[in-house]
Chain A
Amino acid sequence: AQTVTQSQPEMSVQEAETVTLSCTYDTSESDYYLFWYKQPPSRQMILVIRQEAYKQQNATENRFSVNFQKAAKSFSLKISDSQLGDAAMYFCAYRSAERSWGKLQFGAGTQVVVTP
């Protein structure tokens, strides 16, 4: 079974600065998808960005970008120009493209604190 590890329980960043969240995963599969979800205090789970394993180009969504290192099984999220609204729990998630009926495997999460 795949495992997803987020080794940083909490990260603090000042407004307008950049923060990088780490995520590593364990899999024997070659085709899969990786996601970052944001969970603000409202509890709503919001998709931030996704990456397809067969694409070498790193995904980017506005101020959010990823560094996908397939060989190292690493998938970090960079938040640039941090804003107060970025404060939330961030979850890394893995989804097999080959089987397992689209089930997502989540990491334990990283709490991002944004200070003025």
Chain B
Amino acid sequence: NAGVTQTPKFRILKIGQSMTLQCTQDMNHNYMYWYRQDPGMGLKLIYYSVGAGITDKGEVPNGYNVSRSTTEDFPLRLELAAPSQTSVYFCASSYSTGEGYGYTFGSGTRLTVV
């Protein structure tokens, strides 16, 4: 049981480049989330999805895009990378919003934009 798998674990991008952060879960969770964690800060929500084909913006969506074509996959796309996007990115999933379920997190992607 892999849980939530994120790739890559580390990446260095040059300003203006684009990339996709991959996220896959094998728990048949409906809800998936992308967060970023800046040094000394808590996690901030970028985008989330409540099911295949349904996505919505979080607190800090600018400079990112997402898609959710299947229940399992929720990739995060960075277009025209900027130094402000240097951060650690976490993907997470949840079975339900009820019953107080917590998240299952991936192991994170450390992204540096130079």
Residues of chain A contacted by B94 (CB below 8 angstroms): 102
Residues of chain A contacted by B98 (CB below 8 angstroms): 97
Determine if B105 and A101 form an interchain contact, defined as CB atoms under 8 angstroms apart: no
Residue count of chain B within 8 Å CB distance of chain A:
28
Docked complex Cα distance between A43 and B41 (Å): 14
Residue of A nearest to B101 (CB): A102
Nearest CB in chain B: distance from A72 CB, A: 20
Residues of chain B contacted by A43 (CB below 8 angstroms): 88, 107-108, 110
Q: B43, B88, B92, B108: which contacts A91 (Cβ < 8 A)?
A: B43
A residues 97-116 near B (Cβ < 8 Å) are 97, 101-104, 106-109
- B28-47 toward A: CB 8 Å interface, digit per residue (1/0)? 00010101000011111100
Docked complex Cα distance between A108 and B43 (Å): 8
Docked complex Cα distance between A33 and B96 (Å): 13
Residues of A bordering B, CB below 8 Å: 4, 6, 9, 33, 35, 37, 42-45, 47, 50, 52, 91, 95, 97, 101-104, 106-109
Q: List 19 A-B contacts (CB under 8 A).
A: A4-B42, A6-B42, A33-B100, A35-B102, A44-B105, A45-B92, A50-B102, A101-B31, A101-B50, A102-B94, A104-B45, A106-B35, A106-B42, A106-B43, A107-B42, A108-B40, A108-B41, A109-B41, A109-B42
Residues of B bordering A, CB below 8 Å: 31, 33, 35, 40-45, 48, 50, 56, 58, 88, 90, 92, 94, 96-98, 100-103, 105, 107-108, 110
